């Protein structure tokens, strides 16, 4: 091997090693004694607020959520005086590729996409890196749980739901293979200027054929599963839980025509658990979505309008408008630099409050609504007795980037570290400037 070729292999490895020099904080041990939080303003996640709350959890589960004024003063275990602070359920980031890519420029650390188009048998969870520096940077903002979804192809594969304090993917997983992700074809496309086409938007001549290919796959998979299955077909076998309703179908689309065609597809293939992801034009077909009982994971709030004649603030207010119409709505974070920007999830909800929603309704969009859409609301999404003690304490309003300062966080009752590579660097350079001031 020539020196030039050798450098091509050595450089990415060195970059990957240097980027991994600061590993994730050691995962917390199991909860060993009860914890009592007293005096905080508790934002339950279902729209309710308790101004002076009492929250007790043990063995990883919440046992008490009540008004502290109506309780006795004999508090069990470790007592946290949180007067003047706020307590929230852990925020949930759906449709995220967190842990699947560490350094975009290093191919060896990129596991978000696989070769092929129809890949329902590809499982993102086995590629999830629990020691990702990017993942640990979510926790200081209260983002404690995520749905790890693959990218690429027509059917990308299956997602899984994880908590963000674990040794490996087996420890992290909360719900394995919760659903498949379908990237619906676009009915329009931009002109390919490199082939001499006009740069403007035009109809996609392949749209109907692409939809037909997807429909044929679902139809053939159902026929295969109804047959003898003598010849193994992994993609078809992976569709079994989709047809029984045990796995959801997350369909990524934005256009009005695409959404209408998706609803037709849903009915044609009897898909009871279908979720629309993106939904930029969902407001135009809101009645149809309501009739089909389809929830929406609304695309990133901090975005610019897709078209010149859209309102400048449509991305900011879309989630609230859909929720007003009676749809079950939550916020997702995919897009440019989506892994890093996932830590801004609470501030996306905060922006929604500036465009019509009240704070508790916006909070639902990153807690209980998300948990309902993902099918984990029996254990996550709100501060209620019997649910996982996955929650955090903030010194201020957690939806406001100026006041969100998380002081303590717990995942299933385990008090987790809030340190990250960023906090280490912040301390390092703060110390540097303090030393310079003393000179």
- Residue 368 makes CB contacts below 8 A (sequence gap 6+) with 45, 46, 89, 377, 381, 382
C-alpha 317, offset from chain centre: 20
Q: What are the φ and ψ backbone dihedral angles of 149, each rounded to 5 degrees? A: -120, 140
Burial 252-267 (b: 16+ CB within 10 A, else e): bbbbeebbbbbbebbe
Residues 6+ away with beta carbon under 8 Å from 287: none
Query: Phi, psi (5° rounding) for residue 325?
Result: -80, -5
Specify the DSSP element, H or E, that contains 242: helix 240-244
Enter the pTM of the model. 0.90
What pLDDT score was predicted for residue 353? 96
Residues present in the chain in total: 439
Task: Give the per-residue pLDDT at 14.
Answer: 46
Q: Name the 3-class secondary structure at 280.
A: coil
Say if CB 269 and CB 154 are below 8 A apart.
no
The confidence score (pLDDT) of residue 71 equals 63
Question: The tokens of 331 are what?
Answer: 């916020």
Q: What is the pLDDT of residue 428?
A: 85
pLDDT of residue 72: 64
Region of residue 39 (left: phi > 0; alpha: psi -120 to 50; beta: else)? left
Query: Do the strands 86-89 and 391-394 form a parallel or antiparallel pair, or are they unpaired?
Result: antiparallel
Q: What is the pLDDT of residue 5?
A: 53
The pLDDT profile of the chain, 439 residues, written as one tens digit per residue, is: 454 554 555 545 444 444 444 456 789 999 999 999 999 999 999 999 999 999 999 999 999 999 988 766 788 899 999 999 999 999 999 999 999 988 877 777 788 888 899 999 999 999 999 999 999 999 999 999 999 999 999 999 999 999 999 999 999 999 999 999 999 999 988 777 777 777 777 888 899 999 999 999 999 999 999 998 889 999 999 999 999 999 999 999 999 999 999 999 999 999 999 999 999 999 999 999 999 999 999 999 999 998 888 999 999 999 999 999 999 999 999 988 888 899 999 999 999 999 999 999 999 999 999 999 999 999 999 999 999 999 999 999 999 999 999 999 999 999 999 988 888 888 888 888 888 777 7
Q: What is the DSSP string of 185-198?
A: PPSEEE--GGGT--
Q: How wide is the angle at C-alpha 409 spanned by C-alphas 375 and 51, nearest 5°? A: 85
Classify 91-378 by CATH class.
alpha beta
């Amino acid at each position: 091997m020539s020196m030039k070729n050798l450098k091509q292999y050595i450089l990415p490895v060195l970059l990957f090693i240097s980027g991994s020099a600061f590993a994730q904080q050691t995962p917390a041990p199991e909860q060993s004694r009860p914890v009592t939080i007293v005096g905080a303003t508790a934002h339950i996640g279902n729209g309710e607020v308790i101004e002076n709350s009492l929250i007790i959890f043990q063995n990883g589960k919440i046992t008490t959520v009540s008004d502290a004024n109506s309780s006795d003063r004999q508090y069990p275990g470790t007592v946290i005086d949180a007067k003047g602070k706020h307590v929230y359920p852990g925020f949930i980031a759906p449709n995220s590729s967190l842990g699947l890519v560490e350094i975009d420029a290093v191919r060896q650390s990129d596991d978000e996409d696989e070769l092929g188009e129809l890949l329902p048998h590809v499982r993102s969870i086995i590629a999830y890196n629990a020691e990702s520096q990017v993942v640990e940077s979510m926790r200081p903002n209260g983002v404690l749980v995520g749905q790890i979804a693959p990218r690429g192809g027509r059917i990308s594969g299956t997602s899984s739901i994880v908590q963000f304090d674990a040794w490996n993917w087996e420890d992290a997983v909360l719900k394995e293979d919760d659903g498949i992700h379908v990237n619906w074809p676009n009915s329009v496309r931009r002109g390919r200027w490199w082939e001499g086409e006009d740069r403007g938007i035009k109809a996609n001549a392949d749209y109907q054929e692409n939809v037909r290919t997807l429909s044929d796959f679902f139809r053939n998979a159902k026929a295969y599963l109804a047959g003898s299955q003598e010849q193994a077909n992994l993609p078809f076998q992976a569709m079994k839980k989709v047809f029984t309703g045990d796995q959801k179908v997350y369909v990524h689309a934005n256009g009005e025509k695409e959404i209408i065609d998706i609803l037709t597809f849903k009915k044609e293939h009897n898909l009871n658990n279908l979720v629309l992801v993106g939904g930029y034009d969902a407001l135009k077909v809101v009645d149809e979505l309501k009739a089909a009982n389809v929830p929406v994971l609304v695309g990133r709030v901090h975005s610019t309008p897709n078209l010149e004649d859209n309102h400048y603030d449509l991305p900011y207010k879309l989630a609230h408008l859909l929720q007003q119409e009676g749809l079950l709505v939550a916020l997702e974070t995919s897009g440019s630099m989506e892994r890093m920007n996932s830590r801004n999830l609470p501030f996306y909800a905060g922006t929604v409050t500036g465009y019509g929603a009240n704070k508790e309704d916006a909070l639902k969009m990153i807690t209980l609504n998300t948990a309902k859409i993902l099918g984990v609301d029996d254990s996550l999404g709100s501060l209620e007795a019997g649910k996982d003690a996955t929650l955090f304490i903030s010194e201020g309003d957690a939806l406001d980037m100026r006041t969100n300062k998380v002081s303590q966080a717990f995942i299933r009752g385990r008090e987790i570290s809030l340190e990250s590579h960023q906090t280490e660097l912040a301390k390092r350079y703060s110390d540097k400037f303090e030393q310079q001031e003393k000179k």
